[in-house]
Structure 1
Amino acid sequence: MSSESDTRANYIDLALKAASWHPSNIIREHYFTDGRKLAGGARGRRCFVDYLLHKDNRYLAVVEAKKESEHPTKGLQQAIDYAKKLLVRFVYSSNGKQTYEFDLETGKGAYIEFYPTPQELEQRYAGITSSLGQQLRNVPFHLEGSMQPRYYQELAVHAATDAIGQGKPRVLLTLATGTGKTFIAFQIVHKLYQARWNKENPGTRRPRILFLADRNILADQAINTFNPYEKDIIKINGEEVKKRGDIVPTNAHIFFAIYQAIAERENIEGYYKAYPSDFFDLVMIDECHRGSANEEGSWREILNHFGSAVHIGLTATPKRDANVDTYEYFGKPAFEYALKDGINDGFLTPYRVKRVRTNLDELILTKDDKIIEGESEQSVYQVADYDKKIIVDERTELVAKTILENINPLDKTIIFCENQNHALTMRDMINKHKKISDPLYCVRVTSDEGKIGRELLERYQDNDKDIPAILTSSQMLTTGVDARNVRNVVLDRTINSMVEFKQIVGRGTRVFDGKNYFTIIDFRGASNKFYDKDWDGEPEPLEPKGTTEPTPQPYSPEPGTNNGGDGEPATGATKPKLKVKLGKHRELKVIDVEIRDIDENGIPLTIQAFVDKLMGQLPGLFKSVEELRHIWSDPDEREVLLGKLVQAGFDKEQLATLRRMFEAEDSDVFDLLAYLAFEQPMATRKARANHVRSNNAFFGQFQQDKAQQFLHFVLNRFEQTGSTELSRERLPALIELSGLGTVKDASIAFGGKPAYLLAAFKQLQQQLYHVS
């Protein structure tokens, strides 16, 4: 019987050769994603194409091979989906006897007799790339060791250089946090540098490039990425200018600066004005949503001064509102890669949401509550009022205790607080209730911490160090901080901005070995933004500006600071916040911790949607309760089924969540699945174990007391824990825990052979699940 391999060898390879396709222009069996991260280190299905045809550093076509006996377009739709990801226009699907061509641009397809030649196919892409753009494409990526760009990074770099080649003055690249925007920026600069591109006369000299950020930590991280060009790099700041006798540096090709360091300040003229307006050929703006498009802000003054340069904006979250319209300034993104794509492709880590509600989410003050400072101006305080209008340290203590109860002690965690003082109190409360004695277990990292805070952050980012394990902050860590092993992102601040919410979620998405997901622990309902239409899509266009629109206010990257601070008021007298000590008879408690998983679009599933998703998967895994019993009673087949459930998106923790949901904590997972799939009544583990204990005929076949005692021990473990105790891998540990000795010792009790021991272990499970 023919296979896809036969189709490739006997038909497609020959047909491509006849169309003058050289092996160097064909990538066979091309995997271009890692597969979504699943529980237990497993991965979902990787995106794969049978053939990827390319020429002159451009992907031209995808070819899908089918068995000779199958319809030639059976796999067409999936091939089209993959072609869209790779920005490929043409898809071919063939069973060898017939070949179908589909054009994604026109949406039409037809059967063809011969494949087009590389030249013919390339000609169909004519006009997309200019001669300069093609020259930039042909400059190889700068790669060290076995490093290879991910497919979307390669596409993003080419999209930017194509835009430059076409003479576009403004270019926007939108990629989710953690997908390597700085790596992309470096490769763009590398190509321009090697091609000796410049605005005046490309090819005559190397470009002068300004990389502009709004925080030192972002600029420094970028400088590290640009290390291969170390000799051509300089950072513009007051220290460097002072060192040069108050003259700005010009003897470099790649300049880094934070805008605050070169902008105009009170009584100090901006350093940027010391540069001729045409000095830079290219300005790269990192996190450009933060203010580059603001008509009133310092960013815009700098960009206007260097207006003749090409401006490339890098952001995870384009901003669109009355003050900052990234799209209006840069235009439509030249390339986009969303968070949900990164998670589904396996390049970013998925997340789960724990929504925590307390009995203080709505607070009515009583006569027993003591006002320490300020005045009460309302009768009811909501969760959004805490640490803005009212300070209640007892609530912060309850939140801190709940955080510690919901994380592993050494899991790296960031707690986002309302402001810097709140971050201090949170740190103190964590330290009050922590079980780890190290004094740096939990630290505050905000702008007020200065150099000490930056050093602690560097230690936190070192994945070889466990301490600090927990950081408290407010705004300083919302963007750009590369800490790959963050396992928990805690929200105890009100988040009104979708941009800020996306940035905060992005703190946990970076991939790290052994990190299958991270958890968002939400105390303020901020995770409701996942259900907003703007969560992972392009913002709707703004309404045209009318005469009644308020005057835009000057942009400040962080309220009240000029160095990336944390939301504290600026200067001047302010009314003291209400501070309250709650009455001693008040009961403080967590009402509910609701765990929600996410779907393929990154939206947390409601309880009903979660159940519906599982029930939709079950019919494909077993057809009847008898089949489920048979599978579940065999430890090997059960592990295979559990693996399939993981692939479908349901791991052991999620199944445990479902058991709590259906009040089935005392039942086995088997009973839960049988109930959901076939509405079978659920038995408790205790009832199942007792039923086996009363089966004298079963135990009577084992002559030695030690054998019977061991089987009773296994039943006890099952009753306490469930079917996890019944896996083949657990058998040696169960033997040791029972006091029977080694596997060899246990085998003697069961007749002298390990096979007899294993057979008895399986028989016990058949009895538990009533399989004859």
Structure 2
Amino acid sequence: MDKKEKLQLSEIDICDLFITPALQASHWDPMTQIRREVTLTPGPVIVRGNVSSRNKSKKKFADYVLSWQPSLPVAIIEAKSNGFAISHGLQQALEYAGILKLPCAFSSNGDGFASHDKTAPSGSDIEIELALEQFPTPEELWRRYRTFHDIKPGEIALVEQPYHREANGKDPRYYQVDAINLSVEAIAKGQKRVLLVMATGTGKTYTTFQIIWRVWKAGTAKRILFLADRNILVDQTLVNDFAPFGASMTKVKNRKIDPAYEIHLGLYQALTGPFESDKIFKSVSRDFFDLIVIDECHRGSAAEDSAWREVLDYFSGAIHLGMTATPMETGYVSNVNYFGAPVYKYSLKQGIEDGFLAPYKVIRIDIDRDLEGWTPPPGMLDDLGNAVEEREYNQKDMDRILILNKRTTLVAERVMQLLRATDPMAKTIIFCEDIDHAERMRKAIVNAAGDLARDNSKYVMRITGDSVEGKAELDRFIDPEEPYPVIATTSQLLSTGVDTKTCKLIVLDRTINSMTMFKQIIGRGSRIDEDNNKYFYTIMDFKKATELFRDPDFDGEPVVIYEPGPDDDPVPPDPDPEPGDEGDGGEGPENPPGVTKIRISGVDARIIAERVEYIGPDGNLITESYREFARKQITSEYASLDDFIRKWQASDRKRAIIDELEEYGIVLSNLAEEVGRDFGDFDLLCHIAYGQPPLTRRERADQVRKRNYFGKYGDKARAVLSALLDKYADEGIATIEEAKVLRLRPFTEIGTPLEIINGAFGGKQNYERALRELEDEIYQQAAGE
């Protein structure tokens, strides 16, 4: 093939005709070692108002991922058409190699390969160009990977152990691959304490399963204990992610550890207790378990004075793998002191930027009694006839010390106002100060919900550690297929570990001092659930808790501020300790010790301020409408109205421009919600971006008819063009550009598509020319606008 012909080939052609054959010639197996068109990240979801869309322009998409075996990617290749230089795609390949922790990246235009090798010996070139036939073999790139990751000969067998392939062929996400491989490599190197930090919703349990599977199959760990502190965490794991272990797995129950099984899932509470007879973990030898996985290890299991630390100390010779979304570094406990630095971290911010986690919008609501404070008049009595201490009560006192019933009613009514305006059946969690507050909030929501609660008594449930009825509904609340319960009021039970992937609204009517607890709570909404059309969630904040988003520690590095010495006195726990010590509850008592609550019914409360904030491009919260977001995106692509009109008029297919804008997260149907459904795409864009007065599609169609434009066509062609104009007026420009439009009514009454194209217009070329002229007529005056 000569150069001129090669220049005409598409990027896909270059891959098919040159790159893939070159790989196969170098002994790469196309079935097991070559993956093409791999989506590494789908691109972030943008939310403004009550609508969302993906910014596909930020999608990370690798043309080739080369793997030694499916669980071990070793290199990236970025392909370009032949009009580009060989190395044109190398920077992009390096970015993708970076997130996969790979030493080698390649770029090709079909003439050869540009190579970047981080393992090149000192004094050698890091980047070189190779002929097509010189591409490295799988063995060579696997050698470079081992060099880059410092994998010794004795570690190879474990590192090469494949992960479990899903029956549906689903592959782990890139960060899960990183977390699995780096953990397995650490274990292969003999590391006994391993910490993984992964944001809620990123698949920590699935990642854990794959790590356990590989070390178990390789024989490195023959008996494994998965430790959690809540029944639901164990039960979810047993039937979901860990199901492939099958008959080799059991849940520790009946107060015994059964040596007939190899994979044990257990609650701390089932293994130990305050009396020696409770400590069933001592019924097996200290070397019984080879690997212990500590789920949600931020909740104090590794703390020096924890009641559960004795379990880990007893099996101290085993590998301890800690999993958490929120590494705790406080005056009371340090994960890093126990486990060492995390082998891998994947934050909430990164998950949102990649598009794997749902972004949030924040509705901050200020109530007068919270902000301005409230001082009872002299001699005031509460609802029980007791004297009320004459002092100023502020936001932190609300529902902890002072109960203003009208404030509770106000919060409930505002929550229901939002749900009625969006989706009354949206799964909602309301976090309250304690169990008593959660029960009062449940009652207030029932009254505010009216018919919704009357039609189904489980529309709202209190799900707290002390409520047998509420906990019985927990599985249904988190089941996407179950509509009820819709709203859960809670204190702490739902703050961590519970997979509530369809949760669309989190209400904070709780004072939160702990960054760890805050991250866990907001993590309840962080999962994207495309099957149920959940791409973002709303945080409604009545207690200024979301100010923690602005704290540098929110997505920053954990800092060790306490390193216990051998002679240190015990350090008291933090003022806002983590939940979970009661296994299935974790809720505090109805009234904190030594506190008598003051209940008052007659004091009014009102909302004095609200504001809505969204995640901006830099990850910080901003106040911006969807309209303003769209304006910025359009004008960044088309600097002026004239630029936009020229591109619009020159485009053979207007749909191409619309698709291009959708790549940046601008969805025309969302803009139509802002401006009006009767306006065409062109008018919507010009109005939003450049302030032009819009015309409706019907108005543009009527102007075309007034100009008697159809006079030059025959009867049949006029009938077709007139019908196309009606279709435009009803549905928009994209509809009439679709090839299938001639298969719809009223065209079927005129003839078949072939009869229309050939009989009315004399061929496809003439039909397309007539359609283009019709579009020019529709937008004729645009050139002068």
Q: What TM-score do you get using the length of structure 2 for normalisation?
A: 0.78
* Whole-Å separation in 2 of the counterparts to 1:24 and 1:83: 21
Aligned to 1:495: 512
* Whole-Å separation in 2 of the counterparts to 1:304 and 1:550: 20
Aligned to 2:722: none
Which runs of structure 2 are paired with 1:543-562 in the superposition (5 Å)?
A: 551-553=570-572, 562=582
Q: Select the residue among 195, 200, 208 that pairs with 2:218.
A: 195
Is the Cα contact below 8 Å between 1:442 and 1:471 reproduced in 2? yes
Q: Deviations over 1:543-583 (max 9, x none)?
A: 76799998423699756962343542499962312323344
* Whole-Å separation in 2 of the counterparts to 1:631 and 1:380: 64
* Whole-Å separation in 1 of the counterparts to 2:729 and 2:703: 25
Using a 3 Å threshold, how does the CA distance of structure 1 residues 138 and 615 change in structure 2: closer, same or farther?
same
Which runs of structure 2 are paired with 1:147-546 in the superposition (5 Å)?
A: 147-150=169-172, 151-198=174-221, 207-224=222-239, 225-237=241-253, 240-241=254-255, 248-265=257-274, 269-365=278-374, 371-372=382-383, 379-407=391-419, 408-434=423-449, 435-436=451-452, 437-450=455-468, 452-512=469-529, 513=531, 514-542=533-561
Is the Cα contact below 8 Å between 1:491 and 1:526 reproduced in 2? yes
* Whole-Å separation in 2 of the counterparts to 1:553 and 1:625: 64
Q: Select the residue among 609, 622, 625 that pairs with 2:641.
A: 625
Is the Cα contact below 8 Å between 2:512 and 2:518 reproduced in 1? yes
Task: Report the 3-state secondary structure (helix = DSSP H, G, I; strand = E; otherwise coil) of the residue aligned with 1:352.
Answer: strand
Aligned to 1:81: 95
Using a 3 Å threshold, how does the CA distance of structure 1 residues 6 and 630 change in structure 2: closer, same or farther?
closer
Q: What letter matches 2:94 in structure 1?
A: I
Q: What letter matches 1:523 in structure 2?
A: F
Q: What letter matches 1:66 in structure 2?
A: K
1:30 maps to 2:37: yes
| Shift, 1:160, TM fit | 2.1
1:647 maps to 2:679: no
Q: Deviations over 1:330-388 (max 9, x none)?
A: 11222222223333444332322222233333244366786336665575443333212
Is the Cα contact below 8 Å between 2:655 and 2:734 reproduced in 1? no
Residue range with higher mean Cα deviation, 137-146 or 413-422: 137-146
Is the Cα contact below 8 Å between 2:225 and 2:263 reproduced in 1? yes
Q: What letter matches 2:401 in structure 1?
A: K
Task: Report the 3-state secondary structure (helix = DSSP H, G, I; strand = E; otherwise coil) of the residue aligned with 1:159.
Answer: helix
Is the Cα contact below 8 Å between 2:680 and 2:732 reproduced in 1? no
Is the Cα contact below 8 Å between 1:73 and 1:94 reproduced in 2? yes
* Whole-Å separation in 1 of the counterparts to 2:522 and 2:395: 20
* Whole-Å separation in 2 of the counterparts to 1:13 and 1:699: 57
* Whole-Å separation in 2 of the counterparts to 1:372 and 1:656: 52
1:52 maps to 2:74: no
Is the Cα contact below 8 Å between 2:43 and 2:60 reproduced in 1? no
| Shift, 1:12, TM fit | 3.8
Is the Cα contact below 8 Å between 2:40 and 2:62 reproduced in 1? no
5+ residue gaps, structure 1, are 199-206, 242-246, 703-722, 732-741, 748-752
Using a 3 Å threshold, how does the CA distance of structure 1 residues 768 and 355 change in structure 2: closer, same or farther?
farther
* Whole-Å separation in 1 of the counterparts to 2:471 and 2:653: 52
Q: Deviations over 1:455-514 (max 9, x none)?
A: 211111222221111111111111111122111122221222222122112211223212
Q: Deviations over 1:515-562 (max 9, x none)?
A: 222222222222222222222333234376799998423699756962
Aligned to 1:115: 135
* Whole-Å separation in 1 of the counterparts to 2:650 and 2:602: 56
Task: Report the 3-state secondary structure (helix = DSSP H, G, I; strand = E; otherwise coil) of the residue aligned with 1:276.
Answer: coil
Q: Percent identity?
A: 33
Q: What letter matches 2:663 in structure 1?
A: Q
Is the Cα contact below 8 Å between 2:252 and 2:270 reproduced in 1? yes
| Shift, 1:119, TM fit | 2.9
Residue range with higher mean Cα deviation, 543-552 or 478-487: 543-552
Is the Cα contact below 8 Å between 1:692 and 1:767 reproduced in 2? no
Aligned to 1:67: 81
Using a 3 Å threshold, how does the CA distance of structure 1 residues 528 and 665 change in structure 2: closer, same or farther?
farther
| Shift, 1:601, TM fit | 5.6
Task: Report the 3-state secondary structure (helix = DSSP H, G, I; strand = E; otherwise coil) of the residue aligned with 2:413.
Answer: helix
Aligned to 2:107: 93
5+ residue gaps, structure 2, are 1-6, 46-50, 710-727, 737-744, 751-759, 761-766
Is the Cα contact below 8 Å between 2:332 and 2:562 reproduced in 1? no
| Shift, 1:63, TM fit | 1.7
Q: What letter matches 1:86 in structure 2?
A: L
Which runs of structure 2 are paired with 1:662-701 in the superposition (5 Å)?
A: 677-678=689-690, 680=691
Q: Deviations over 1:727-752 (max 9, x none)?
A: 46999xxxxxxxxxx979x99xxxxx
Is the Cα contact below 8 Å between 1:655 and 1:669 reproduced in 2? no
Is the Cα contact below 8 Å between 2:330 and 2:560 reproduced in 1? no
Task: Report the 3-state secondary structure (helix = DSSP H, G, I; strand = E; otherwise coil) of the residue aligned with 1:617.
Answer: helix
Which runs of structure 2 are paired with 1:578-657 in the superposition (5 Å)?
A: 578-583=598-603, 586=604, 588-589=606-607, 591-594=609-612, 596-599=613-616, 602-607=619-624, 614=630, 616-626=632-642, 644-650=660-666
Is the Cα contact below 8 Å between 2:460 and 2:487 reproduced in 1? yes
* Whole-Å separation in 1 of the counterparts to 2:281 and 2:605: 58
Which runs of structure 2 are paired with 1:10-25 in the superposition (5 Å)?
A: 11-13=18-20, 15-16=22-23, 19-23=26-30
Task: Report the 3-state secondary structure (helix = DSSP H, G, I; strand = E; otherwise coil) of the residue aligned with 1:371.
Answer: coil
Is the Cα contact below 8 Å between 1:33 and 1:346 reproduced in 2? no
Using a 3 Å threshold, how does the CA distance of structure 1 residues 696 and 334 change in structure 2: closer, same or farther?
closer
Task: Report the 3-state secondary structure (helix = DSSP H, G, I; strand = E; otherwise coil) of the residue aligned with 2:383.
Answer: strand
Using a 3 Å threshold, how does the CA distance of structure 1 residues 379 and 767 change in structure 2: closer, same or farther?
farther
* Whole-Å separation in 1 of the counterparts to 2:431 and 2:340: 32
Aligned length: 706
| Shift, 1:29, TM fit | 2.2
Is the Cα contact below 8 Å between 1:99 and 1:112 reproduced in 2? yes
* Whole-Å separation in 2 of the counterparts to 1:675 and 1:729: 19
Using a 3 Å threshold, how does the CA distance of structure 1 residues 532 and 676 change in structure 2: closer, same or farther?
farther
Is the Cα contact below 8 Å between 2:299 and 2:578 reproduced in 1? no
Q: What letter matches 1:531 in structure 2?
A: R
Q: What letter matches 1:76 in structure 2?
A: L
| Shift, 1:411, TM fit | 0.9
Using a 3 Å threshold, how does the CA distance of structure 1 residues 548 and 160 change in structure 2: closer, same or farther?
closer
RMSD across aligned C-alpha pairs, in angstroms? 4.5
Q: Deviations over 1:421-468 (max 9, x none)?
A: 111111111110114121110001010113x22221111122222111
Task: Report the 3-state secondary structure (helix = DSSP H, G, I; strand = E; otherwise coil) of the residue aligned with 1:68.
Answer: coil
| Shift, 1:41, TM fit | 6.9
| Shift, 1:395, TM fit | 1.2
Is the Cα contact below 8 Å between 2:159 and 2:188 reproduced in 1? no
